[in-house]
Amino acid sequence: MNIFRILTQDAKIRFLILMMSIEIVFTFIFYPGFKMVSVSPHKINLSPSLAPVCGTILGPFYGAIAIVTAKSVYLSINPKAAYFGVFTVLPITLGTIVAGYLSEGRWKHAAIVIAFGLLLWYSTEVGRVVYYYPFLPIFALILILHLKDKICKLMFKK
């Protein structure tokens, strides 16, 4: 982790890493992913798997910028991919922010972001009907509240 902190001290190198991350995430959007269950023509692409990596390497702010930029460009090219409208970008961005905060050891901020995402989910009508759907974020929140400062040490254990 120290190498990333040292590299991102210089603004030019940080900008270069940000641009490379945007390009890599944008490229991975077009890779064929997994078929969605019970919906035959649709596939889940591989770009959401890079969101935690961007958050870990770039931090919560620049990682979120990289993800939002790449996803917004893709959605402007292919508007049919926005299944949930504007909210299509929100889960992957919140995941990037949480990964960035956890990599920096700020577990309280990460817990607040996950709680905010859960609050947004349960404030919608779909969230109240399908209340059991976000079991993974709830489990992640419980783990964060249980492990606290140990998460950063476990992520970058030598």
Tell me: the pLDDT tens digits for 53-68? 888 888 899 889 999 9
For residues 107 and 144, is the Cβ–Cβ distance under 8 A?
A: yes
Q: Is residue 44 helix, strand or coil? A: strand
Domain locations in the chain?
A: 2-155
Fold designation for 2-155: Arp2/3 complex 21 kDa subunit ARPC3 (1.10.1760)
40-50 burial, b for 16+ CB within 10 Å, e for fewer?
Answer: eeeeeebbbeb
Look at residue 2 in the predicted model and tell me its pLDDT: 53
pLDDT in tens, 74-130: 888 888 877 777 778 888 899 999 999 998 889 999 999 999 999 988 988 888 888
Which DSSP letter does residue 36 get?
P
Give the pLDDT score at 110.
95
* Range with lowest mean pLDDT among 15-24, 28-37, 85-94, 137-146: 28-37
Distance, C-alpha 145 to centroid of its chain: 19
Assess whether pLDDT exceeds 70 at residue 18. Answer: yes
Q: What does pTM read for this prediction? A: 0.83
